[in-house]
Amino acid sequence: MHKSFDLFFVSSNSHKYQEAKSILDSLGIDLGFLKSNLEEIQSHSLNTIAMAKAKNAYSIFKKPIIIEDDGLFIDSVDGFPGPYSSYVFKTIGNKGILNLLKNNRKAKFVSIITYCDKTILQSFEGKLNGRISKTQKGKGWGYDPIFIPNNSKKTFAELNNKNELSHRYKALRKFSKWYLHK
């Protein structure tokens, strides 16, 4: 029998979906996955990008959806890579980021979760401050092996409880409170 979901996560990144599903399961929301390479506009604003992607996803699937867009913002390089994090990861990767940095390694991860259905378009933001490690540590995906949250000595890739404190968790928690009471 076909399973019924509360809503769908639309992305080409199954890692993001697995994290979102795990987090939302714990918050009482059953999340399905629709794999899609959505068009991504270029903008300095994560929220603008996320809203455009959510509208695009809804126009394709005609189901209640959420999308996630996030960025790694590093203080010493004026917030780079920010909304261009995915492209930068694909081109220079973690080694390239580590090569750019000297002493100031302060950074933050920002996640935008955007919900879209026939009548509602709503975004939720989560932020987590931290720093960039001097070397890659752990076996995580994306920037996880180089991002150390504040009050930790371990990178996201080394943590067992990333999904309980991440930028994505913070945004999804805000979303779930709204969604379950809308």
List active site positions: 69
**Peptide bond preceding 64: is omega within 30 degrees of 0, i.e. cis?**
no
- Nearest in space to 147 (alpha carbons), one of 158, 139, 159, 155: 155
The helix (run of H) or strand (run of E) holding residue 42 is: none
Residue type, 33: F
| Cα angle value 98/103/104 (rounded, 5°) | 90
Which residues are CB-contacts of 100 (< 8 A; sequence separation ≥ 6)? 74, 77, 80
Distances (CA, A) of 5 to 9, 34, 115: 10, 11, 15
CB 106 within 8 A of CB 100: no
Q: Name 123's bridge partners.
A: 114
Residues in the chain: 182
